[in-house]
Structure 1
C-alpha cells in the first residue's frame, strides 16, 4: 500500500485499508492484517508528536504575529489620537487667533473712525476760524476801498486853487 505524507493522510490510508478489508459473514467485523494495521498506527504515532510540535509552533507564531499586530494597531491608534488632539488643539488656536484678529481689526476700524471724526472736526473748526479771519479782512479791505473812493471823490471836486495846496496825508485805516 502506498502511504501519503502527512498524519491526516495516514489516517485516511488506515480508514481506506479497513474499509477495503474482507468482511466476516454475519458480523460487522472485518478481517485485517494485524501487523500491517499496527505498523500503520505506529508510524502515525511517531509522526504525531512532530506534527503536534509543528502545529504548536505555528500556533505560537500565529499568536506572536497577532500580538505584534495588536501592538502595532494600538501604536497606530495612539498616534492617531495624539494627532487628533494636536489637530483639535491647532484648530482651537486658529479659531482663537481668528477671533482675536477680528477683534483687533474691529478696534482698529473704530479707532480709525474716531481719528477721522476728530480730524474732520479740527479741520472744520480751523476753516471756520480762517473764514471769520478772511471775512474781517475782507470787511477791512472794503472799508479801505470805500474810504479811498470817498477821498478821490472829494479830491476831484476840488478846484484849481486847491490843487496848489500840499497834499494832506490820507487818514489811516
Structure 2
C-alpha cells in the first residue's frame, strides 16, 4: 500500500507541474510516465481488492446461496423441532399413563386396606357386642336369682314373723326393705352393664372414625401425590370390668 500512495503522490506532482494549454484548464502530461505510475498502482494494489470486487460482482449469487442455505437450515430446524415435539408428547403420554396406572394401583391398595380395616372393625364390634350381651344376660340372670332368693327369704321371714303378733308390723317393713334393696341392686347391676356396653360401643365408634379419617387422608394424598397410606392403628384395649362391686 505504501507504493500505491507513493505512485499517487507522483501522479499529483506531475499533474501540478504539467505545462498548461493556453486558453483552457487542460495540461500536457507525459503519457509514458503516467501509464508507468498507473501500472505501479495496479501492481501494488493488494489481492483483497480484486477479491472484494469479485464478491461485489457475485453479490446476488452469494446472497441467493446464503438465503437458500438459511432456508435449508430453517427447514431442518423445523423438522427436528417437530420430531422433538412429537417425541416429547409421546414421552409425556407414556409418563401420564404410567402415573395413572400407579395411581390406580394405589387407590386399589387403599380401598383393599380400608375394606380389611372395616371388616376387622366389624368383627371386633360383633365380638364385643356378643360378649357384652352374654355378660349382660349373665348379670341379669344373677340379679334375677338374687332377687328371687331375696323374695323367698323375705317371704319365709314374713311367714315366721306373721306367727308373732307383736312383730307383724316390723316384718312387713323389713320385707318391703329387702324387696326394695333387691330391686335397687338389680337396677344398679343393669345400669353398670349398660354403661359397660356403651363404653365399648364408644371405643368402636372412635375406631371407625379414625379409620374413616385415615382413608380420607389417603385419598387426599393420592389426589395430590402418590404417597403410601399409614397403617390403621390398633384399637386401645379396654380394662376388664370389675363385677365384684
- The reply on whether 1:131 has 2:140 as its aligned counterpart is yes
Match of 1:143 among 145, 152, 164: 152
Report what 1:99 is aligned to.
Answer: 108
Range that drifts further, 80-89 or 56-65:
80-89
Matches within 5 A, 1:1-173: 49-156=58-165
Note the residue ranges of structure 2 that are not aligned, 5 or more in a row.
1-55, 168-245
Q: What whole-Å deviation, never above 9, does each CA across 1:22-64 have from its counterpart, x for those lacking one?
A: xxxxxxxxxxxxxxxxxxxxxxxxx995433322221111001
TM-score with structure 2 length normalisation?
0.42
Q: RMSD in angstroms over aligned alpha carbons?
A: 2.3
The alignment covers a number of residue pairs equal to 113
- Give the structure, 1 or 2, with the largest relative contact order (CA under 8 Å, sep 6 or more): 2
Tell me, in whole angstroms, the C-alpha distance in 2 between the residues paired with 1:157 and 1:69. 125
- CA–CA distance in structure 2, aligned partners of residues 156 and 108 of structure 1: 70
1:118-148 alpha-carbon deviations (Å, 9 max, x no partner):
0111011101111121111011101111122
User: Could you tell me how far apart the structure 1 residues matched to 2:165 and 2:102 are?
Assistant: 92
CA distance in 1, matches of 2:116, 2:67: 72
What are structure 1's unaligned runs of at least 5 residues? 1-46, 159-173
Once superposed, which parts of structure 1, at least 4 consecutive aligned residues long, lie more than 4 Å away? none
Give the structure-1-normalised TM-score.
0.58
CA–CA distance in structure 2, aligned partners of residues 89 and 157 of structure 1: 98
Match of 2:164, SS state, is helix
Instruction: Give 1:92 shift.
Output: 0.7
Look up the SS of the partner of 2:149 in the other structure.
helix
Bigger CA radius of gyration: 1
Alignment match, 1:24: none
